[in-house]
Chains A and B, each alone.
Chain A
Amino acid sequence: MTDAPAISVRGLTKRFGDKTVVDDFDLDVARGQIHGFLGPNGSGKTTTIRMLCGLLVPDGGSGSCLGRDILTEAWEIKRRVGYMTQRFSLYEDLTIRENLDFVARLYGLDRRREKVDRALDRLGLAKRSGQLAGTLSGGWKQRLALAACVLHEPELLLLDEPTAGVDPKARREFWDEIHTLAEGGMTVLVSTHYMDEAERCHRIAYLAYGKLLAVGTVAEVIAHSGLSTWHVSGPERRIGTLARDLASRPGVEMVAPFGATLHVSGSQAAALAEAIAPFRAEPGLTWSEAKPSLEDAFIHLMAEAPAQNGAPSR
């Protein structure tokens, strides 16, 4: 059982009413990996994660988590998976320790006190263990939620936007913790909007409008997008007008200013080169061919995807 992939699903589909929220979703996640899950708001990340841990019944498709069938063995999956919800869903009217105690009792952990104490220590919450969870700030709530869902030492951790609204330092620490857990053998599927977090994952999956658009390592996803990118820098005033000039040319699909630098991208390398040719020689502008960023790749992927917001699909 332990060599079964952490996650292996095929054709997962979920509809709410006549809206297909997750459409024919395939995913394989090997044991011990940190798998990023990206996509714009409303693309179906939360819905997918809920189907993986038995909280929602898929309308189509099949698959397994930790070798257990997601349709028939939800109970076993729940016992061996830790799920951190997008919205804080521990009890705000219980203290930090009471929340952890509740979880520990529910899973029937032996040496409960010891484990709860250790979790409190590790998260630096020992001194505040008597504080009501509802009085914690966002960052501390996330830490508590993480502590609660790893208490029973799950084999698979599903984290739904665990760092949304958390400051950079806390985010960094949170990710260090995730890496420590993964080194201990835990598999992690984590949804996020942050590119720097995506780059800390072994592999990523990109979802838009319920469809899986790309999956692989960061480099693979960028390569898969087929995007070519040029950076051009120059005087601030010229950059603004240049952005407009470039955007209207055929072959240019994206122009995004980053300070005094423009990122100019297109999916046809040749067409893009032709489009920028007239400006290459312009004095004061410095051109360089660049590796597209993950963000460029995502925006490109989303722009190409058939937008079907709200429209019934298939």
Chain B
Amino acid sequence: MRSGPHFAWHRLAAMVVKEFIQMRRDRLTFAMMVGIPIIQLTLFGYAINADPRNLPTAVLSQDNSSFSRALVTALQTSTYFRVAAVAQDPEMLDRMLARGEVQFAVEIPTGFGRDLMRGDRPALLVMADATDPAATGNAAGALDRIVQSALTPLLDGPLAGLAQGQPPVDLRIQRRYNPEGLTQYNIVPGLMGTILTMTMIIMTALAVTRERERGTMENLLAMPVRPVEVMIGKLAPFILVGGIQVLVILTAATLLFHVPMVGDPLVLAAGLLVFIVANLAVGFLFSTVASNQLQAMQMSFFFFLPSILMSGFMFPFRGMPDWAQTIGEALPLTHVLRVVRGVMLKGNTMIDTWPDIWPMLAFLGAVSLLAVMRYRQTLD
């Protein structure tokens, strides 16, 4: 196989034209590729917009003043919180939160009323299970107001001075399990990365294994065409699909969820392009290993899971153990999340994003090389 040019435009053109026509005919796949982001966004968007009330709350009150009683009542009447349990000690409070029995845990320290009247600004500790930030976000946001309105009526007469200036209570909200407190600003970019990972890898992996399953591979292999031409030809149409997905998600993100676009869309596009092609290359690599569509699907999920878990989409990146961070650094999703958040929310420039773009380029190069080497030019 060593003679003749290693790359020819006419052969690449043949592959690209064929792949585009085939994709255009494959309406179902095409609809799915545009439909998936819309459905996902709607589902997530619903969760984001939802304003859950009556969140189960455990209270540990080590003080029996009118202030603490007023606080508990105010929590209840705000309708955000439902006092579901009364804890006897801090350990019990922790346990209930850890087990997910309650979403919030409120700890009123000893001497709360006394300290408050002295103007010592006692601490009021509210711990939130922030694994689902969408669920706790609104309630946590309302806490300030609730505490304020609970205490203000009691601060009259000699205590009227406390109602002015600094809040009389030191409200400490502790977001457990998710200190970054991901909000919709973070979820939409994250969703973009995960949707692209999922669809891009599966679609390319299937595109090649389908060729093998339908028997058309034999004809393709019998003709003089280089692996790299087959690979680029197969990937090209999906770059377009990826672009459409990005547009759909971005439109929804800005129109529905008002995610800002602080930075330059071109920088974002550059980062996303590298990311899309890197994922397509992974899909192509899988297709050179998988012998049927089912295996291709399984491999795609096998790659998808660590991507979701270790990229910082699911869990805060800095909170992961070192080994997980090392794996995460190798994954394109990790870097694209930073690029998207950086450009959209912080207005990062090309120079700022470069540290996250080159690892994706390196990943793309390594995977492509492997895929072209692995691509079998015989039926053996």
Q: Chain A residues in contact with chain B, CB under 8 A? A: 50, 53-57, 72-76, 78-79, 81, 83, 85, 87-94, 98, 101-103, 105-108
Contacts and interface: CB of A to CB of B under 8 A. Distances in A.
B22 A94 contact: yes
B379 A93 contact: no
A81 B224 CA distance: 10
A76 B3 CA distance: 7
Interface in B1-48: 1-4, 8, 10-11, 13-15, 17-18, 21-22, 25-26
A76 B2 CA distance: 9
Contacts of A103: 14, 223
A90 B219 contact: yes
A280 to B, nearest CB: 55
Given A56-B379, A78-B222, A108 B11 contact: yes
Nearest to B223: A106
Interface string B33-76: 00000000000000000000000000000000000000000000
A102 B224 contact: no
B165 interface: no
A101 B15 CA distance: 11
A54 B25 CA distance: 32
Interface stretch (B135-143, B151-159, B210-218, B315-323): B210-218
Nearest to B216: A89
A74 B223 CA distance: 10
B380 interface: yes
A55 B379 contact: yes
B225 interface: yes
Contacts of A108: 8, 10-11
The 6 nearest A-B residue pairs measured at CB: A105-B14, A89-B219, A106-B14, A108-B10, A83-B222, A78-B224
Given A56-B379, A98-B18, A103-B223, A87 B215 contact: yes
Q: Which of B22, B26, B216, B219 has the most chain A CB atoms inside 10 A of its CB?
A: B219
Contacts of B1: 54, 74-75
B379 A105 contact: no
A105 B17 contact: yes
Contacts of B22: 91, 93-94
Contacts of B377: 54, 74
Contacts of B17: 101-102, 105
B378 interface: yes
Given A89-B219, A108-B8, A108-B10, 20 more contacts: A50-B379, A54-B1, A72-B2, A73-B3, A76-B3, A78-B223, A79-B224, A89-B214, A89-B215, A89-B217, A91-B22, A93-B21, A93-B22, A98-B18, A102-B14, A102-B18, A105-B10, A105-B13, A106-B11, A106-B225
Nearest to A82: B222
B221 interface: yes
Contact of A53 (B13, B222, B225, B380): B222
B222 A55 contact: yes
Interface residues on B, range: 20 to 34
Contact of A54 (B13, B214, B217, B378): B378
Interface in B186-218: 214-218
Nearest to A102: B18
A267 B15 CA distance: 56
30 contacts: A53-B222, A54-B377, A55-B379, A56-B380, A57-B380, A72-B2, A74-B377, A75-B1, A75-B2, A75-B3, A75-B4, A76-B3, A79-B224, A85-B215, A85-B218, A87-B215, A88-B215, A89-B215, A89-B217, A89-B219, A90-B216, A91-B216, A93-B22, A93-B25, A98-B21, A102-B17, A105-B11, A105-B14, A106-B11, A108-B11
A93 B22 CA distance: 6
Nearest to A103: B223
Nearest to B11: A106
Contacts of A102: 14, 17-18
Nearest to B211: A91
A143 to B, nearest CB: 15
Given A105-B11, A105-B13, A79 B4 contact: yes
Contacts of B215: 85, 87-89
B129 to A, nearest CB: 50
Contacts of A56: 378-380
A74 B377 CA distance: 10
Nearest to A104: B14
Contact of A55 (B21, B216, B221): B221
Given A78-B224, A79-B4, A79-B224, A91 B378 contact: no
A85 B2 CA distance: 25
Nearest to B214: A92
Contacts of B223: 78, 103, 106-107
Contact of B10 (A72, A93, A106): A106
